[in-house]
Amino acid sequence: MKRYVIIFILVIASTFLIHAWLMSIGLFPIEASAQSVAVDQLFHVHLWLISFLFSLIMVTLVYSLIFFHRRKGETGDGAYLTGNSTLEITWTAIPLMAVLVLAYAGARTLGAIQVIDPTAVQVKVTAGQWYWQYAYPDYGVTSTDLYLPVNLQIDLQMTSVDVIHSFWVPEFRVKQDIVPGRTVELRVTPSLIGEYKVRCSELCGLRHAYMEGLVEVVSQANFEKWIAQQQSAAPPSPELRGQQLASSYGCVNCHSTDGSAKTGPTWLRLYNSSVKLSDGTTVTADDNYLKTSIINPNSQVVSGFSSNVMPDFSTVLDQTMVESLVAYIKTLK
């Protein structure tokens, strides 16, 4: 009996120590959404549980190693035990209860974070290799950064133009896969003004690790101001628009604008230069060549570069966007 008391005390002490250590190593980013509170509550239950289970197993193991190991001169076998119904029922019933309680808590949390506010601000999210794009249909505004008003529910309607991506802002805690061909919904209520990052958390190709974007949570007044600014901004020149597209659609991740070597050919001094293709022919990089290369890159692969590397932009970029990109490329002399 005395041994059980000692083990019990050691397990409790160890549980608190392990839990304190887990809390000290910065597992949690700050909570920046209403949903993050409920999610973190679940995490805290789990942290206590794993601290306890780890302690229960390790304390019992180490205690047994110290006090019950084979002594010098001992040669006999240990006692042979055949079943213990009480123990077996206990170690089945307790985990079963634990799993049921956690399932209930998980379902409740999921319900709580998916509550729909009919007045939510709608944002259409488009994910693609390798960029994020946002549209605010209520205001007729599009943006490559995600601006959100604080303390209002945001209804993110998300689509992908190519492969599976995943929308994840760690500070918001909620995360949602975006499957091509479907529109998926994610509800989030930012609760803390600040600058965050959206990361893609689904391996989506070569530049997956760099598929990040700015998320700016601002006061409701500043959000209105930003919207008004976007609405009144004069439409940019084709060259400037092209530069923005090159950045937001990730073109410049593979095509340098300063002549440096990247996955694709550089855009510096590309316009009107002669380009050697992998089939041995030489073409002039005129408007036509550039447009075709953007929409159908595998039709004229440049010598020294691989085909089938560039994502398909034919359904993403319309005629005007392609022309803007060409206008921008022309400026890179």
Residue 126 C-beta: closest distance to ligand CUA, Å: 12
DSSP 8-state secondary structure symbol assigned to residue 29: P
Part of the chain binding ligand CUA (CB under 6 A), chosen from 8-16, 151-159, 199-207, 238-246: 199-207
Residue 181 C-beta: closest distance to ligand CUA, Å: 16
Residue 124 C-beta: closest distance to ligand CUA, Å: 17
Residue 130 C-beta: closest distance to ligand CUA, Å: 6
Residue 160 C-beta: closest distance to ligand CUA, Å: 8
User: Which of 124, 208, 291, 330: binder of ligand CUA (CB under 6 A)?
Assistant: 208
Name the 3-class secondary structure at 165.
strand
CB-facing half-sphere around the CA of 285: CA atoms within 13 A = 22
Gap between the Cα atoms of 271 and 289, Å rounded: 9
* Residue 19 binding ligand CUA, by CB under 6 A: no
Cβ-proximal residues to 168 (8 Å cutoff; 6+ apart), any chain: 175, 176, 198, 199, 200, 201
Give the CA angle between residues 173, 33, 182 to the nearest 5°: 60
Judged by CB under 6 A, the number of residues near ligand CUA is 8
User: Which of 150, 161, 188, 211: binder of ligand CUA (CB under 6 A)?
Assistant: 211
Part of the chain binding ligand CUA (CB under 6 A), chosen from 56-64, 71-79, 180-188, 201-209: 201-209
Residue 309 C-beta: closest distance to ligand CUA, Å: 16
Residues 12, 17, 19, 20, CA torsion sign: positive
Part of the chain binding ligand CUA (CB under 6 A), chosen from 12-20, 48-56, 198-206, 275-283: 198-206
User: Which of 148, 200, 327, 329: binder of ligand CUA (CB under 6 A)?
Assistant: 200
Residue type, position 16, single letter = F
Nearest to 268 by CA among 237, 246, 301: 246
Residue type, position 303, single letter = S
Q: Which residue reads 């209860």 in tokens?
A: 97
User: Which of 167, 202, 213, 285: binder of ligand CUA (CB under 6 A)?
Assistant: 202
* Residue 204 binding ligand CUA, by CB under 6 A: yes
Task: Give the burial class of 329: count Cβ atoms within 10 A of its Cβ; 0-12 exposed, 13-18 middle, 19 or more buried.
Answer: buried
* Residue 241 binding ligand CUA, by CB under 6 A: no
Helix ranges restricted to H, 114-237? 220-232
Residue 316 C-beta: closest distance to ligand CUA, Å: 14
Residue 48, preceding bond cis, omega within 30 degrees?
A: no
Interface residues for ligand CUA in 123-142 (CB under 6 A)?
130
Residue 12 C-beta: closest distance to ligand CUA, Å: 43
Nearest to 208 by CA among 151, 127, 138, 285: 127
Residues that bind ligand CUA (CB under 6 A): 130, 165, 200, 202-204, 208, 211
